[in-house]
Structure 1
Amino acid sequence: MEVHTHPGVSADEIADPSAVREIQLWLRGYLRRHPVASLSTLGAQVVLGIRAIQYLFVDIVKGQFPFREFVQQAVFMAKTAYVPTIAVAIPISATMSIQFGLIAGQVGATSLAGAAGGLAVIRQAAPMVTAILLAAAVGSAICSDLGARTIREEIDAMEVMGVSPLRALVVPRLVAAIVVALGLTGLSSFVGFVAGYLFNVYVQGGTPGSYLATFSSFARVGDLFLAMVKAVVFAVIVAVVACEKGLSTKGGPGGVANSVNAAVVSSIIMLMLVNAGFTELYTILFPRTTL
């Protein structure tokens, strides 16, 4: 009988050909390949993010911040993401307006559609649309760029010459992602609110004054502040994950493609989890008051 080999398993365990033993060996290998590797990757991303933030403040104080690279990356990110952000914010806002309008009509509270739709756009839709598009468009570009540099051994050459890839490449991309995320979140909030207003008034037959009055009654400055805080955190997540995946690329051009795919998927999953935590924490700390 052919005996399957498993790394990290003793010879006595391999000698037992029973089905139970094979399942145990497979489970051990699965845990080692997936959950343990995932924790290791998460740890590397946390370390990379902390070091990048530390270097950011040190370089700003010393006057060594790579401003030219920051400007180039910020312009590239804005040009890449602002059109998709507007294109996605409009239909999402229209969809929310439809759903909230239907629900409000069923319970006899049509006048509250403006408050519900506007708050949903500012607190949830705008930062999430911006973050997902940053992960899909900007994060993939960052990861592919750094991944290509890694497989061409440019990163190793920089380290040999005494140039820190973290300071020269990661820090300016991190700052650019934060700045662009703040701007795109504001743009997405404005476009989404206007789109929801126009759709509610001209398509669903709502009242302009009622829409604006209910929104101003419920909305607070803290809602926009929450959206901006989310934008900063989401941008850090996208930039750190993309940079870590790019700098750890292996396996040639195929490895770059795998890194880009892993960066986008990992970023979106983390964004969803962090967004849920932010929303629940904000609801607990700042409970919504009535009219």
Structure 2
Amino acid sequence: MGGLGMTVDVEDSGLARKGDSRDHTQAVPWSQAAPLKPVRGIGEFFALALDILVAMFKPPLAWRELLDQALFIARVSLLPALMLSIPYVVISVFELNVLIMEFGAADFSGTGAALAAVNQIGPFVTVLVVAGAGASAMCADLGARTIREELDAMRVMGIDPVQALLVPRVLAATVVALLLSSLVTLTGLTGGFFFAVFFQHVAAGSYVASMTLITGLWDVVVSMVKATLFGLTAGLIACYQGTSVTRGPAAVGNAVNETVVFSFVFLFVINLVVTAIGFELKK
């Protein structure tokens, strides 16, 4: 960097000339190497994601590992997801009813509850819990295996870590997110129903009848697509962060934190894109 003379060693990544017998480790100015790090990380993530997606369709599938991971993610995610879904929907119903009661339209409170729970709250709460509990645990497990060089040992024995470890974890996160989203939506709607009927004195029949007023089968399909993409993305991020740990135990904690943060960022991006596409296709 200018007169400081700071340099960083960058390993050969295809930039060195082929056939060059000299050491491919080059001294590159820090100011040139630093901007390449995030770009390289993005490329490595998509390369690993492509390998995992391709390996999903190659037999054999590690069914035992898939079942173990699915049960683990469900065990750590089920109760928090259900506990979060009820207050989210109840708050939405309460705020909506305060507004519509001013216009004498309390009978339509079920409409807003169904729209919020199916389109947003169900998938949203699911990915928060799956990313915060399930994906972070997967990242920590893979990170510990990586620094103990277990993945390298598997490669030496002729076992593909992607096929044996990563594919089952990504599939487990995807399946659990899809199933958990449906359960969270039903739980939230049930909690919203009891709150609206017993605390805000909304007619039970009117609440149930208005739930399908503007929320239909298409909204349920879009919600399931969201949950599937959320779980798939969280699983891919956890696998990449866990297998890219290189600096010892301290880096595992950093990878876990990055897994949660990146999953939440992708959550908002995917939610925005899928919601917009679903709204346009519904017209």
Report the TM-score, using the length of structure 2 for normalisation: 0.87
Is 1:223 equivalent to 2:216 in the alignment? no
CA distance in 2, matches of 1:76, 1:197: 31
Deviations 1:45-91 (A, max 9, x none): 222222212111122xxxx1111111111111111100001011111
**How many angstroms apart in 2 are the aligned matches of 1:33 and 1:107?**
58
| Separation of aligned partners in 2, 1:224 and 1:131 | 16
Root-mean-square deviation (Å): 1.8
Asked whether the 8 Å contact 2:114–2:212 carries over to 1, the reply is no
Please name the residue that 2:4 is paired with: 4
> How far 1:42 moved relative to its partner?
2.6
**For residues 7-22 of structure 1, what are the structure 2 equivalents within 5 Å?**
7=7
Q: Sequence identity of aligned pairs in percent?
A: 34
Partner of residue 68 from structure 1, selected from 59, 64, 70: 64
- 1:150 offset after TM fit, Å? 0.4
Deviation at residue 181 of structure 1 after TM alignment? 1.0
Deviation digits for residues 107-157 of structure 1 (CA, Å, limit 9, x no counterpart): 443222210111110111001111111000001100000000000111111
1:130 to 123, 126, 151: 126
Separation in 1, partners of 2:34, 2:262: 16
Aligned residue identity for 2:248: G
- Cα distance, 1:167 vs structure 2: 0.5
Alignment of 1:1-291 (within 5 A): 3-7=3-7, 29=31, 33=34, 36-59=36-59, 64-287=60-283
The aligned amino acid for 2:166 is V
Shift of 1:280: 1.2
Q: Which segments of 5 or more consecutive residues in structure 1 lack a partner in the other structure?
A: 9-27
| Higher share of residues assigned helix | 1
CA distance in 2, matches of 1:231, 1:6: 46
Counterpart CA distance in 2 for 1:172 and 1:49 is 13
Alpha-carbon deviation of 1:164?
Answer: 0.8
Q: For the Cα contact (< 8 Å) 1:147–1:249, is it kept in 2?
A: yes
The 3 A distance-change label for structure 1 pair 147 and 207 is same
Q: Which runs of 5+ in 2 are unaligned?
A: 9-29
The equivalent residue for 2:24 is: none
User: Within 2, Cα distance between the matches of 1:264 and 1:214?
Assistant: 37
Write the distance in 2 (CA, Å) between the matches of 1:75 and 1:144.
17
Distance 1:41 1:112 in 2: 49
Q: Are residues 7 and 108 of structure 1, via their aligned partners in 2, closer, same or farther at CA, if it must alter by over 3 Å?
A: farther
Deviation at 1:3, TM superposition (A): 4.2
Q: State TM-score, norm by structure 1.
A: 0.85
Judged with a 3 Å threshold, the aligned counterparts in structure 2 of structure 1 residues 32 and 192 are, in CA distance, closer, same or farther, namely farther
